[in-house]
Amino acid sequence: MKPGTKLKSAVCDTEVMVILGADVAIECGGAPMALERPATGGEPDPSFAAGSLMGKRYVDEAGTVELLCVKPGKGSLSIGGVALRTKDAKALPSSD
């Protein structure tokens, strides 16, 4: 894997674009992601089935990997069994 490439889930519809990071194995629904979706898929592992959301960026705690979800699915993203978290805007608190 390298930045700019797209990875597909083996177990659901999820597709991500790699934004940051190289040569790391990304999993979706507990199964490794690849450039092409395998013909026989299977179901997401229940412990990685929280889903991926369109347009969200997913990062690891160390900040070495960033993925952009370009197609959502039932499986959730992880690296080495550790769930990735979403990267959200750090908005300035405002009140109308």
Partner 1 sequence: MTQVMKGIRVLEVAQMTFVPAAGAILADWGADVIKIEHPVRGDTQRGFINMGGVKVNPKRSPFVEHPNRGKRSVGVDISKPEGMEVIYELAKTADVFLTNYLPKQRQKMKFDIEHIRAVNPNIIYARGSAYGDKGPERDFGGFDGTAFWNRSGIATAMTPREMVGTLSQGIPAFGDSIGGMNIAGGISAALFHRERTGEALELDVSLLSTAWWAAGTSIDMGIDCGEVSRNRMPTSGGNPGNPFMGNYTTSDGGIINLCTLTPGPHIRNVFQHLGLPEAADDPRFSTAEALMKNWEPASELINAQFARKPFDYWREHLKTMSGQWAPVLDLMQIAEDEQALANDMLFEVEASDGGEPIKLVRGPIQFNHEPVKTTRAPEASEHTEIVLMEMGMDWDRIESLKKVGAIA
Chain residues in the site for partner 1 (CB under 8 A): 3-4, 17, 19-20, 51, 53-57, 68, 70, 72, 88-96
Rounded to a whole number of angstroms, the minimum distance from the CB of residue 40 to partner 1 is 27
Q: Hey, what are 79's tokens?
A: 């690296």
CB of 34 to partner 1, least distance (A): 20
Closest approach, Cβ 41 to partner 1, in A, equals: 21
| Sign for the pseudo-dihedral over CA of 77, 65, 8, 31 | negative
Query: 74: which residues sit within 8 A by CB, 6+ positions away?
Result: 11, 12, 13, 14, 29, 44, 49, 51
